Structure 1
Amino acid sequence: MHSPITDWPKNEQPREKLRLKGAAALSDAELLAIFLRIGVKGKSAVTLAKDLIHHFGSLPRLLASTPEEFTRVHGVGLSKWSQIQAAYELVKRSLEDGLSQDPIFSSPNHVREFLQAKIGRLPHEVFLCLYLDSSLHLIECDELFRGSITQTAIYPREILKEALSKNASALIVAHNHPSGNPLPSDADQELTKVLESVLQMVDIQLLDHCIVSGSGFFSFSDSGLMNISVKR
């Protein structure tokens, strides 16, 4: 429908549909249209939202867009990009806050959702540490290393130093693969073994090493590649 949204049947207008049926009932384009508010000549906000998603190829790519990339699309400007990024950041912070409120294993998908939102769609590789207390609540999530699109230099001694300074009882480490393939490399497997060994020396347990991509996720723990025994 290319007519103004105000001319649509009331129950088909995105805001009214959200109020009546809940956010889950809306398509990606309808949700995005609520942020856009208005379209351009000949296009409703929903049509413009569909064009944006089509331009970037997917909603995750749109969310990861730079201001320059976003504003190349006719009909949207920096203010719309800023609003969408602010909403996306609120989602990531909400997920992180949930990890500090409840033990990480109380919701099996919570860590995965947080990591995919946090680093899964970045164009460069980053390495995160999730420091956990004795009750497995999140103390802090830190980005320790940032590298090129192909590799990041990871220093186990830096991870150990930070873990001790935060009085962590356990860790989850994670990094992303911008290539899109979340399967571990030989170097990833070797790093996991080294970290396990180093942390065991000071009685800190490495619970998992997660590898994240825009559409994939790999867990060393879930794949049986780590020897952990945590009371869940």
Structure 2
Amino acid sequence: MEQQLPLFARELAPADQQAVREALTLLEGQLREPGTSFTSSHAVRDWLRLQLAALEREALSVLWLDNQHRLLAHDTLFLGTINSITVHPREVVKSGLKNNAAAAVLAHNHPSGEAEPSQADRLITERLKQALDLVDIRLLDHLVVGGMDIVSFAERGWL
């Protein structure tokens, strides 16, 4: 199956598109390896940078994981504007149940290039954690991508 290109890569020359497609395929393969700890993997961050860093609008993606924290699926659930996004916890829960997920990692981008989470980011993360807890899906992390920088809520002790 051909790797879906992130939006930014669709404007590249065909050879460059192929290079991005191959990089995404390799990184996603690493994420699906048995025994790979999803939340500590550098491949996760590299994969998210390729998926989100160059977007011109905010996007919220969820990485759905099984009981061993291996990647089941990834969904981009919401697209926003250059500086905001509306997130509906109900839709996140529906997607988690559809994917039969045991755990999740949230990720979204800041098109400004500044990875520092806002107060709104912290509030929606708490709401999503509460909603997912109700259906026994553990929220492992929320990663904010700003250019090449990524801030982890878990590493900051916010989850």
What's the TM-score, normalizing by structure 2? 0.88
1: CA distance between counterparts of 2:129 and 2:9? 36
Q: Which structure features the higher share of strand residues? A: 2
The Cα of 1:114 is off from its aligned counterpart by: 1.1
CA radius of gyration, larger in: 1
For 1:53-102, what per-residue CA distance to the aligned partner results, in whole angstroms no more than 9, with x for missing partners? Answer: xxxxxxxxxxx4774xx7xxxxxxxxxx1111121121012212221223
Which SS does the other structure have where 1:101 is aligned? Answer: coil
Could you report, residue by residue, the CA deviation over 1:85-122 in whole angstroms, capped at 9, with x for unpaired residues? 12112101221222122333485312111111111121
TM-score, length basis structure 1: 0.61
Deviation at 1:170, TM superposition (A): 0.2
**Deviation digits for residues 182-214 of structure 1, max 9, x if unmatched?**
011111000111011111111110000000022
Question: Does the residue aligned with 1:159 lie in a helix, a strand or coil?
Answer: helix
Closer/same/farther in 2, CA of residues 92 and 195 from structure 1, 3 Å limit: same
Deviation at 1:223, TM superposition (A): 0.9
- Given that residues 49 and 145 in structure 2 are in contact (C-alpha distance below 8 angstroms), is that contact kept between their aligned partners in structure 1? yes
Find the partner of 2:128 among 176, 189, 195: 195
In 1: Cα distance, 2:9 partner to 2:95 partner: 32
Structure 1 residue aligned with 2:52, among 119, 124, 147?
Answer: 119
Partner of 1:109: 42
Say if 2:39 and 2:141, in contact at 8 Å, map to a contact too: no
For the pair 1:157 / 2:90, whether they are aligned, the reply is: yes
| 8 A Cα contact 1:130 1:142, kept in partner | yes
Distance verdict in 2 for CA 1:148–1:208, change over 3 Å: same
Does residue 221 of the first structure (1) align with residue 154 of the second (2)?
yes
SS in 2 for 1:150: coil
**Structure 2 CA distance for partners of 1:220 and 1:88, relative to 1, 3 Å:** same
- Residues of 2 paired with 1:105 and 1:161: CA distance? 22
Which residue of structure 1 lines up, in the alignment, with residue 20 of structure 2?
Answer: 88
Residues in 2 aligned to 1:175 and 1:106: alpha-carbon distance in whole angstroms: 15
Aligned to 1:210: 143
Q: 1:82 to 1:189 in 2, by over 3 A?
A: same
Alpha carbons of 1:159 and 1:139: their partners in 2 closer, same or farther (altered >3 Å)?
Answer: same
Contact map agreement 1:104 1:138 (CA 8 A) in 2: no
Q: Secondary structure at the match of 2:112?
A: coil
Structure 2, gaps ≥5 residues long: 1-7
For 2:130 and 2:39, locate their aligned partners in 1 and report how far apart those are by CA, in whole Å.
27
| Contact 1:125 1:148 (8 Å CA) reproduced | yes
Indicate the structure whose relative CO is greater, using CA pairs within 8 Å and at least 6 residues apart.
2
Q: Percent identity?
A: 36
Paired residue type of 1:213? G
CA deviation vs aligned residue, 1:13-71 (integer Å, no higher than 9, x gap): xxxxxxxxxxxxxxxxxxxxxxxxxxxxxxxxxxxxxxxxxxxxxxxxxxx4774xx7x
Residue of structure 2 in register with 1:148 after alignment = 81
